[in-house]
């Protein structure tokens, strides 16, 4: 009989260490401690010395950290010893990062790991990208022009595809059990966020949301669009954005076959979504969408970037400098982000926009 064909090796998921002065390195290793079966599916990208230091804080033998060379990540992971934590050394630092402090070195290391992970997924070496928290001040100190993961990944993906950044619109979706919210604007001042509520931007957000759920297998997601003003403007008494901007965007989306509705009163639409009336809520600005998600519990929150030609998730919290180095930070939200990424990959998430 002819020999059996070699078993196909699936591309792994990439997990970046985040800011080396924050809780990222330790919650990454805590997640792999809590769920050792993930070690056969995940590759950690980060500074090896930083990760070894974090291993001591979470009770993981640093000897389990196994550096792997660039090349076939999938094959390297398949050949790894049992219980080994595969690490691609990246963002190497000349000296350990002082814990809980903003620094250019930390920002540069975090940015290098993000770029490496993104290119690994975009080039097909990896199936998805899960990012541990970074610190925006450290990024800025390092001269990184992007304020966060979302904008950085947008620029990296656009460059990889030969596009202008403006030609690859992305949005942030925050999820907790029973509630998904997508934001029309992200990290801008509230005054600027109100100005960002335009027909074009609201319509683009609805389209990107619908396309994401289609790529995940839900062909007709029920999209509720929140109003901007109290009571969704109360027929123009409290503002006219609902009449002049949001309702026309919803109508245009419906004309394209998207199951969108609204504008809905923002003080009740999230409750209705959690009760099962909608699959996702489009929120008009950052805090409108994030407050209800975070109220449900940071330990379960997941951030997903919509519109990218890759799967990217992250925990719904920051670097927690006050907890960094204590081993007391929770890995629950990171595990939720890993599970969300694996679900999208296993459902054959289509990278086509």
Q: Residues 345-349: what's their mean pLDDT?
A: 80
297 vs 290: which has the higher pLDDT? 290
The CATH number given to whatever domain includes residue 190 is 3.40.718.10
Q: Residues 240-262: what's their mean pLDDT?
A: 97
300 in a structural domain: no
pLDDT class of 300 with cuts at 50, 70, 90 = confident
Residues 27, 138 within the same domain: yes
Q: Residues 340-350: what's their mean pLDDT?
A: 85
232 in a structural domain: yes
Residues 12, 110 within the same domain: yes
Residues 24, 161 within the same domain: yes
Q: CB–CB of 253/263 below 8 Å?
A: no
Question: What predicted TM-score, i.e. pTM, was given to this entire model?
Answer: 0.91
Q: What are phi and psi of 45, to 5 degrees?
A: -115, 120
Q: Residues 265-270: what's their mean pLDDT?
A: 97
303 in a structural domain: no
* 5, pLDDT greater than 60: no
Q: Residues 137-165: what's their mean pLDDT?
A: 94
**302-341 pLDDT tens trace:** 999 999 999 999 998 999 999 999 989 999 999 999 999 9
Average pLDDT, the chain: 92
Residues 272, 206 within the same domain: yes
302 in a structural domain: no
Residues 15, 32 within the same domain: yes
Residues 263, 279 within the same domain: yes
**187-223 pLDDT tens trace:** 889 999 999 999 999 999 999 999 999 988 888 999 9
* 279, pLDDT greater than 60: yes
Residues 43, 159 within the same domain: yes
**82-110 pLDDT tens trace:** 889 999 999 999 888 999 999 999 999 99
Residues 164, 183 within the same domain: no
* 71, pLDDT greater than 80: no
**44-55 pLDDT tens trace:** 999 999 999 999
301 in a structural domain: no
* 1, pLDDT greater than 80: no
Q: Residues 148-173: what's their mean pLDDT?
A: 94
Q: Secondary structure of the chain in the HEC alphabet?
A: CCCCCCCCCCCCEEEECCCCCCCHHHHHHHHHHHCHHHHHCEEEEECHHHHHHHHHHHCCCHHHEEECCCCCHHHHHHCCCCCCEEEEECCCCCCCCCCCCCCHHHHHHHHHHHHHHHHHHHCCCCCEEEECCCCHHHHHHCCCCCCCHHHHHHHHHHHHHCCCHHHCCCEEEEEECCEEEEECCCCCCHHHHHHCCCHHHHHHHHHHHHHHHHHCCCCCCCEEEECCCHHHHHHHCCCCHHHHHHHHHHHHHHHCCCCEEEEECCCCHHHHHHCCCCCEEEECCHHHHHHHHHHCCHHHCEEEEECCCCCEEEECCCCCCCCCCCCCCCCHHHHHHHHHHHHHHHCCCCCCC
Residues 240, 325 within the same domain: no
- Give the total number of structural domains in the chain: 2
pLDDT of 353: 53
pLDDT class of 248 with cuts at 50, 70, 90 = very high
Last residue in a domain, options 252, 269, 295: 295
296 vs 111: which has the higher pLDDT? 111
pLDDT of 3: 43
Residues 213, 346 within the same domain: no
pLDDT of 70: 62
Domain that residue 10 falls in: 1-170+308-353
Last residue in a domain, options 262, 295, 328: 295
pLDDT of 8: 55
190 in a structural domain: yes
127 in a structural domain: yes
Residues 158, 251 within the same domain: no
Helices 24-34, 332-346: inter-axial angle, 10-degree rounding: 70
pLDDT of 217: 85
Residues 105, 188 within the same domain: no
pLDDT of 2: 44
* 243, pLDDT greater than 80: yes
200 in a structural domain: yes
């Amino acid at each position: 009989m002819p020999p059996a064909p070699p078993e196909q090796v699936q591309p792994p998921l990439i997990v970046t260490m985040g800011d080396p002065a924050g809780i990222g390195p330790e919650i990454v290793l805590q997640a792999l401690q809590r769920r050792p079966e993930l070690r056969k599916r995940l590759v950690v990208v980060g500074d090896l010395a930083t990760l070894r230091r974090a291993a001591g804080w979470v009770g993981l033998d640093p000897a389990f950290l196994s550096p792997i060379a660039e090349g076939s990540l999938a094959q390297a992971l398949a050949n790894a010893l049992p219980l080994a934590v595969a690490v691609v050394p990246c963002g190497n630092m000349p000296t350990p990062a002082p814990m809980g402090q903003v620094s250019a070195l930390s920002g540069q290391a975090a940015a290098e790991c993000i770029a490496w992970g993104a290119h690994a997924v975009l080039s097909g070496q990896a199936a998805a990208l899960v990012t541990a928290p970074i610190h925006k001040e450290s990024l800025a100190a390092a001269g990184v022009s992007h304020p966060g993961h979302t904008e950085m990944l947008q620029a990296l993906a656009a460059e990889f595809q030969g596009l202008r950044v403006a030609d690859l619109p992305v949005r942030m979706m925050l999820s907790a059990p029973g509630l998904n919210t997508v934001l029309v604007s992200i990290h801008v001042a509230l005054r600027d966020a109100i100005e960002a509520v335009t027909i074009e931007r609201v319509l683009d957000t609805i389209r990107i949301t619908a396309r994401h759920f289609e790529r995940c297998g839900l062909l007709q997601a029920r999209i509720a669009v929140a109003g901007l003003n109290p009571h969704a403007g109360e027929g123009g008494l409290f503002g006219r954005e609902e009449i002049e901007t949001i309702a026309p965007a919803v109508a245009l989306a419906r004309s394209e076959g998207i199951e969108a509705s609204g504008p809905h009163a923002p003080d009740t639409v999230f409750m209705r979504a959690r009760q099962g009336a909608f699959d996702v809520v489009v929120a008009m600005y950052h805090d409108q969408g994030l407050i209800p998600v975070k109220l449900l519990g940071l330990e379960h929150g997941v951030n997903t970037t919509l519109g990218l030609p890759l799967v990217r998730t992250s925990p719904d919290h920051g670097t927690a400098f006050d907890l960094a180095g204590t081993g007391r930070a929770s890995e629950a939200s990171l595990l939720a982000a890993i599970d969300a990424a694996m679900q999208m990959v296993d459902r054959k998430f289509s990278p086509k926009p």
